[in-house]
Structure 1
Amino acid sequence: MLPRNATRFLAAVAAAAGLASASCSSYASYSQYRHEPYSTGAYALSYQRPEPACRTFNSTAVEDGILRIKNLTTDPDLFRLFENTYPNTIDTAIKWRGFAANNSEEELAFIITGDIDAMWIRDSANQVAPYRSVLKNKDDDLASLFRGAINMQARYLILSPYCNAFLPPPEANLNAQPNGAVYSVTPPYDRNVVFTCNFELDDFGAFLQLSHDYYTRTGDVDFFGKFQWIHAVQSILSASEALRKPTYAPNGEWMPPAYTFQSQTMTAFGTLGNNGMSYPVNETGMVRAPFRPSDDAAIYDFQIPANMMLSRYLESTAGIMEKLPNAPKGLAREMRDMAEGIRAGIEQFGVVTAPNGQRIFAYEVDGFGGQNLMDDANIPSLLSAPSLGYLDANDTVYQNTRRFVLSRSNPWWCQGPVINAVGSPHIKPGAAWPMAAIMRAMTSDDDDEIINSIWEVLQSTDQYGLIHESVNSFDATKWTRSWFGWGNAVFGQLIMELAERKPELLKESFQPRHRDLRQEHRN
């Protein structure tokens, strides 16, 4: 285990380097230690915000949001976890902001995922998304960050639409370190631009969702017609259409896939089978997703949650496209047609019969009858479908699926005295992901379920006051990743959403004794 207090360690490092006490240390190191003042509740959570001078972006709107939640909460541990996590992206992960070399008006933002010094399209979109609740117009201090992230993602999606993580742009003048892993990928990519090239369909959905969020909050339609957004959408449509094709033509002839991936790896989930081509698929209208949001290889390529996300946000951002005078004719219609085709494919092939006879969403299918009944903690997940806006939480198939996901019927359901939540093959059985417990609360209207999920997340931080990637469901001292930007962002988003839809829950006590009393009362 890591030391409980880093005061002496940091002092020694500062002294050795000849630095002043106010110097900025690496957050990758900083987050591995607990820092005073601790919260005054039973969990004594560490304070994990860097000093103001060391934060990577400062936002008045975010600070005002933190103050608002402070005034709404009574539990010191709950507020401390929010205080650490909600601003974590802007405090620590905005590695660079600037402008494109060929256009001094095109804002760019390079946002690292946390302890990995690269920008994942999916992660960066999710890391910025929680700030939509305090984004009011295009002149807000956060609006530039949204625009910079969208423009940066657009560039990457045009250059290498099948890749998922990227190195900083040349404009940043950062010491970019190319990934030394050995990959064989079709189509080829530039290793000085791309960090990893696992094609994850949710990257497309994440880019469109961030675009939707920015437009919905600001109404700034002009932005989308100025730079590369239209071309990025065209790149998404072209790549998606190529990956909708089945393995065999109508006459039975084999058709090579548009994307292949092989790597030297110690895990079966780190590469694609069948010589990098994955396994055959039938025609369904859905888009292949060879890798999951966890970066793990799929079993069957039609991943239902990623297709849900893409369908929902193709439909919503088509409304932006049709407002742009410089958009190619018919492009918005093309977006809607694909969205409708994907949704039809989900309904036809993605809804299956569970062992208990109920109709549920499969996690993955192949269109030949193959189906993988599970859920993964990483978002988009089956559990997250209402949060994606794909369907209503009261949908019958969703409720059947939810009961399946949150039960021993799901092979990646992790149960124990510390936390009960969905896990992932990305780690191992028994390693629950707090992010899944957070999503459980975000998609529930049941007060007890929400309160219990938050309590388990508080208990799972091992007093560090940050959201870990995974936690042993029986031992909170066994966890992965001290700095996981995506997980921190999702918790901040949950609390901001509860402030709108169930503010009374933020007045609850989340101390262990209070929880015991609640359980006794229910029993």
Structure 2
Amino acid sequence: MDSLQIFPFLRTIVLASLISIAYSQCPIYTHYANTRHEPFSNGTWSLSSMRPVQSCRSFYSEDVEKTIERMSNVIIDPDLFRLFENSWPSTLDTTVAWRGLSKPIEASAEGGKAEESAELSFVITGDIEAMWLRDSANQLQAYVSLLKADGGKDKDSLASLFRGAINLQARYILGDPFCNAFQAPDESGIPRHSSQNSDTISPSYDYYRVFSCQWELDSVASFLQLSNDYFTATGDWEFFGKHNWTRAVTKVLDITHAMTIDSYGEDGTWQHTPYTYCAPYGGTPINDCNGSPHRGNIGLVRSFQRPSDDSCIYQYLIPSNMMYSVALNSSSFIMSKLEDQKQDLTTRMRTMSTSIRNGIETYGVVQDPKYGRIYAYEVDGFGSAILMDDPNVPSLLSAPFLGYVPMSDKVYKNTRRKILSRDNPYYAWGPVLTGVASMHTRPGKPWPMANIMTILTSDDDDEIVRNLRWLLQSTDGLGVMHESVDAHNAASWSRQWFSWANGLFGQAILDIEKRKPHLLKMGYQ
């Protein structure tokens, strides 16, 4: 009898070894995504095939593959289907860098409780081998429509992938709550390198654990969003009581409350924020790395950086506060399942959510001479405001997508009109792509992410079609979403491997299928 039949575990080891050998022979996707591959789509744009061969993909989901096959009969235009086929599965195909179990924790003499191994998922952003809290949460959100309960037993399910990401994000937050991007966990065996540079950041952190330590409010909001996405799709609230989720949420509440303080004490003394960021080569907030003075205790939470990783001018970043308010409220329903009748944390979450919303509506709405009442991008609580938008989500454009307001909200509609016009200082236009650009890449280079969000927040067929056409013609023939594209030159772009934008495009196409299926039955040649 075959030894592999006698020892089933040996079969697993051998198969794992063979898979590891095969995967090591796969092309580096950063290079692969930089060139065109046959077969090309049979349309005007002749878009490249960009999915790695199946043996080189980092995660397999039968439901995702079936959906792609089904959509091949839904999307009539060959270029549009190829763009969907390449983009939507990008996170699963290329960015699940490692999955496994945490080391079990034994009970300690000091009273620490034993903890069983937890699923972990290390999901990188793409061409940078690090896990951003924001990016990974949004990357996985692309598959929420297919997420279903598995009883916690299927280690190869989408549900397991989500649980692993939630567990790892909770670990990261407990260790370094002000940081936004992290290196691989110890258990992965993936080599780690020091992230130390000339920046001076307080509180200090482990350079071999953290990749980037920028305080971005949307990072912790993304952790709550990911948690709620999993809970809403599966109903599995018991999972959140097994490991460190409650402790991580408590930490999030504590640090965000600390970031609501006034810049001045009652006696007039200057108060340092709990987090400071000094970058000698640009981006350092003024006033000893604390930023501009801010009126405190108005409901809003300060954020030192935007979701683009650029420093805020005024640290009450309205889109991030919108996202955090929504995420607190939605994830509070998970907490309510876990707590006893006192509901202490649940109450804290809901109270803070309401307080932030009140702060936004009181201090984050300004009067524009042309558009009327609109949401500001950043404010300081003293009356200063930045009127613009950035393409990275959370953005003002994405407010309905985040669940903060409906698309019909009057203040949002006024804001949207300004954002998608030349009255937005970061609006860019040209023959290749027209939309919202970012200071992160420079003016004149719109981000496809903003065009995708325009689609997701529109009920106008013409606007949706126009943006789909722009996206099709701006990939430089590669058939994937770039970070930014020169409005006048499709060959000038940044990031060939940006899985978040890819997944968001897939979400938009699936959303169009639900809301406006006739738009997928037309040609875009």
- Both proteins in one fold, TM over 0.5: yes
Shift of 1:77: 0.5
Distance 2:129 2:479 in 1: 22
Residue equivalent to 2:288:
275
Q: Is the 8 A contact 1:121 1:206 kept in 2?
A: yes
For 1:458-510, what per-residue CA distance to the aligned partner results, in whole angstroms no more than 9, with x for missing partners? 11101001100000111111111111111111111111222222222111211
For 1:49-98, what per-residue CA distance to the aligned partner results, in whole angstroms no more than 9, with x for missing partners? 00100100111111112112112111110110110111100100000000
Residue equivalent to 1:507:
521
Distance 1:325 1:293 in 2: 32
Q: 1:154 and 2:195 equivalent?
A: no
Shift of 1:23: 3.0
Of 365, 372, 376, the residue aligned with 1:362 is: 376
Distance 1:240 1:191 in 2: 23
Residue equivalent to 1:470:
484
Of 108, 111, 116, the residue aligned with 2:123 is: 111
Structure 2 alignment gaps of length 5 or more: 1-20, 105-114
SS at match of 2:73: helix
Residue equivalent to 2:25:
23
Distance 1:492 1:312 in 2: 23
Shift of 1:417: 1.1
For 1:4-52, what per-residue CA distance to the aligned partner results, in whole angstroms no more than 9, with x for missing partners? xxxxxxxxxxxxxxx9999301101111111010101100000000010
Of 33, 40, 44, the residue aligned with 2:46 is: 44
Q: Is the 8 A contact 2:22 2:55 kept in 1?
A: no
Letter in 2 for 1:207: F
Distance 1:179 1:508 in 2: 49
Q: Is the 8 A contact 1:209 1:313 kept in 2?
A: yes
Distance 1:26 1:291 in 2: 31
The number of equivalent residue pairs is 490
Letter in 2 for 1:448: D
Residue equivalent to 2:474:
460
Residue equivalent to 2:330:
316
Q: Is the 8 A contact 1:99 1:108 kept in 2?
A: yes
Distance 1:167 1:328 in 2: 38
Higher alpha-carbon deviation: 385-394 or 319-328: 319-328
Distance 2:520 2:208 in 1: 46
Written as runs of structure 1 = structure 2, the 5 A alignment for 1:58-73 is 58-73=60-75
Shift of 1:440: 0.2
Distance 2:179 2:456 in 1: 29
Residue equivalent to 1:444:
458
Shift of 1:335: 0.2
Structure 1 alignment gaps of length 5 or more: 1-18, 512-523
Letter in 2 for 1:494: A
Shift of 1:300: 0.2
Letter in 2 for 1:108: L
Q: 1:428 and 2:442 equivalent?
A: yes
Q: Is the 8 A contact 1:28 1:115 kept in 2?
A: yes
Q: 1:488 and 2:502 equivalent?
A: yes
Written as runs of structure 1 = structure 2, the 5 A alignment for 1:55-454 is 55-102=57-104, 103-139=115-151, 141-265=157-281, 268=282, 270-283=283-296, 284-325=298-339, 329-356=343-370, 358-454=372-468
For 1:322-342, what per-residue CA distance to the aligned partner results, in whole angstroms no more than 9, with x for missing partners? 111479841000000000110
Q: Is the 8 A contact 1:423 1:431 kept in 2?
A: yes
Letter in 2 for 1:189: Y
Shift of 1:178: 2.3
Q: Is the 8 A contact 1:167 1:178 kept in 2?
A: no
Residue equivalent to 1:16:
none
For 1:377-423, what per-residue CA distance to the aligned partner results, in whole angstroms no more than 9, with x for missing partners? 00000000000000111000000000000011100001111111101
Q: Is the 8 A contact 1:225 1:327 kept in 2?
A: no
Determine what percentage of the aligned residue pairs are the same residue.
50
Letter in 2 for 1:427: T
Higher alpha-carbon deviation: 75-84 or 129-138: 129-138
Letter in 1 for 2:82: R
Distance 2:357 2:150 in 1: 32
Shift of 1:104: 4.7
Distance 1:206 1:451 in 2: 30
Distance 1:113 1:405 in 2: 27
Distance 1:180 1:157 in 2: 19
Distance 2:371 2:121 in 1: 49
Residue equivalent to 1:517:
none
Higher alpha-carbon deviation: 179-188 or 293-302: 179-188
Question: How large is the RMSD of aligned CA atoms in angstroms?
Answer: 1.6
Q: TM-score, normalised by structure 1?
A: 0.91
Distance 2:67 2:148 in 1: 12
> Given the superposition, is the C-alpha separation of residues 51 and 104 from structure 1 closer, same or farther in structure 2, using an over 3 Å criterion?
farther
Letter in 1 for 2:45: Y
Letter in 2 for 1:216: T
Letter in 2 for 1:101: K
Letter in 2 for 1:137: A
Q: TM-score, normalised by structure 2?
A: 0.91
> Given the superposition, is the C-alpha separation of residues 20 and 124 from structure 1 closer, same or farther in structure 2, using an over 3 Å criterion?
closer
Distance 1:153 1:385 in 2: 24
> Given the superposition, is the C-alpha separation of residues 76 and 259 from structure 1 closer, same or farther in structure 2, using an over 3 Å criterion?
same
Distance 1:138 1:378 in 2: 33
Letter in 1 for 2:488: F
Letter in 1 for 2:197: A
